[in-house]
Amino acid sequence: MNALFDSKDRAGVDLDAPLIEAKDLHTFYGESHILHGIDLTLQPGETMSLLGRNGMGKTTTLKSILGFVPPRHGEVRVMGVDTAKRRPWQVIRQGIGYVPEGRGIFPGISVREHLVMVARPRAKGDGGNGKEEWNIERVLETFPRLKERINHDGSLLSGGEQQMLAIGRALMLNPRLVILDEATEGLAPLIRDEIWSIIRRIKDSGIASIIVDKNIDNLLEVADRHLLVVKGKVVFDGDSEALTADPELLNTHLGVG
């Protein structure tokens, strides 16, 4: 097993618990109060979108869950484990593939190295991280563009290729949950379509997802539930049918309807 991922990372994990339980999160940047009592629960295999205009607290919610910006008040449990005393890398190694806004591709490291340096075997007996194991062969089959550029410096790829690499890297963890922040932001239409196709494949494989993106139509199609965040508060939590049944809500807070 890769030394980066030993069994201690899974200590105390409850595979029957919700993947994420966040309760009453209050998060600050300095003295700026960003999250005002966010509640979020994600079940195994569930796909959730975080909706809201820019600056409403979506990315801060993700960073609070992962511990990059710890909340000053509230509780986060990942697979039943309280994250209060865990660092972000310890939280992620419980079974989360994180694709951050900006992608996080390292200069001077090849596509192959980006993939193999995080490779983690599927946890024995863990059926919640997909029906089949993700390895480099499967990732390259899923992303043929990466196969063509396997020895290229990852930071020199196009924006769309870097996003594919970031998603492929997350899948190499054999995660139970993939978090995508601004999944298709700034990408050309054809590349966006390709990324959404991959997101659907991730969902069909049984891996849970939390997705932040501005493409409402695709989110309504792929997500099982939506959380609409306005000024650090959840103003809607429900499925696509319930969301589209309230055009005033969509128009007021997302500018669609």
Mean pLDDT of 21-29: 97
Is pLDDT above 70 for 4? no
Residue 13's pLDDT band (cuts 50, 70, 90): confident
Secondary structure (DSSP) of 160-215: HHHHHHHHHHHHTT--SEEEEESTTTT--HHHHHHHHHHHHHHHHTT-EEEEE-S-
Q: What is the pLDDT of residue 113?
A: 96
pLDDT digits (tens, 9 = 90+) for 161-180: 999 999 999 999 999 999 99
Q: What is the pLDDT of residue 119?
A: 87
CB 111 within 8 A of CB 164: no
Residue 191's pLDDT band (cuts 50, 70, 90): very high
The first and second tokens of residue 247, run together, are: 């055009």
Q: Percent of the chain scored above 90 by pLDDT?
A: 80
CB 109 within 8 A of CB 47: no
The average confidence (pLDDT) of the chain is 90
Mean pLDDT of 108-121: 93
Biggest CA pair distance of the chain = 52
Q: What is the pLDDT of residue 254?
A: 85
Residue 125's pLDDT band (cuts 50, 70, 90): low
Mean pLDDT of 139-148: 95
Q: What is the pLDDT of residue 201?
A: 93
Q: How big is the CA angle at 50 (ends 102 and 92), to the nearest 5 degrees? A: 60
pLDDT digits (tens, 9 = 90+) for 36-82: 999 999 999 999 999 999 999 999 999 999 999 999 999 999 999 99
Is pLDDT above 80 for 185? yes
Q: What is the pLDDT of residue 239?
A: 96
Q: What is the pLDDT of residue 3?
A: 38
CA dist 96 → 32, 65, 118, 208 (Å): 28, 11, 12, 10
Q: What is the pLDDT of residue 5?
A: 41
pTM for the whole structure: 0.90
Q: What is the pLDDT of residue 2?
A: 40
Is pLDDT above 90 for 126? no
Is pLDDT above 80 for 235? yes
Q: Of the ranges 81-90, 116-125, 207-216, which one carries the lowest mean pLDDT score?
A: 116-125
